[in-house]
Amino acid sequence: MPLIPYISDTSENIHLFFKTFKELHADYVMPATITLFGVDKTDSKTLVLNAIEKYYPELQEMYEKLFKNSSELPYYYRKAFYEKMKELSRAYGIKDRIVYY
């Protein structure tokens, strides 16, 4: 956590994560979307957007739109992401929260 939009949150990667967690007998998994803050040169938003520009220039415009008005991803993205995580948690038999016994 967090998963990076359109890079590490692909369906292939997410299934691989859950498969690996299952094989390692993980008790739970709590994936999260990324939150980016700040405009100074050492702030997370600036650093991530610079890395996107350098390593994934094809995603730069999309990232600028996603984080233009907020430090969080848009609601539609977060909603779909968390629904998918619940679905995969059930499919792989891994809890999606910490459970105290």
For 75-86, what is each residue's pLDDT tens digit? 999 999 999 999
Distance, CA of 27 to CA of 46 (rounded, Å): 35
Q: What's the domain range around 62? A: 11-92
Q: How many domains does the chain have?
A: 1
Domain membership of residue 62 (yes or no) is yes
Average pLDDT estimate for 61-68: 93
Q: Over the stretch 4-16, which tens digit does the pLDDT of each residue have?
A: 999 999 999 999 9
Domain membership of residue 100 (yes or no) is no
Instruction: Kindly tell me if the per-residue pLDDT of 97 is higher than 80.
Output: yes
Domain membership of residue 5 (yes or no) is no
Domain membership of residue 26 (yes or no) is yes
Domain membership of residue 66 (yes or no) is yes
Q: Over the stretch 18-59, which tens digit does the pLDDT of each residue have?
A: 999 999 999 999 888 999 999 999 999 999 999 999 999 999
Give the dihedral of Cα atoms 68, 53, 14, 25; nearest 10 deg. -110
The pLDDT of residue 34: 93
Domain membership of residue 88 (yes or no) is yes
Domain membership of residue 99 (yes or no) is no
Domain membership of residue 18 (yes or no) is yes
The pLDDT of residue 3: 85
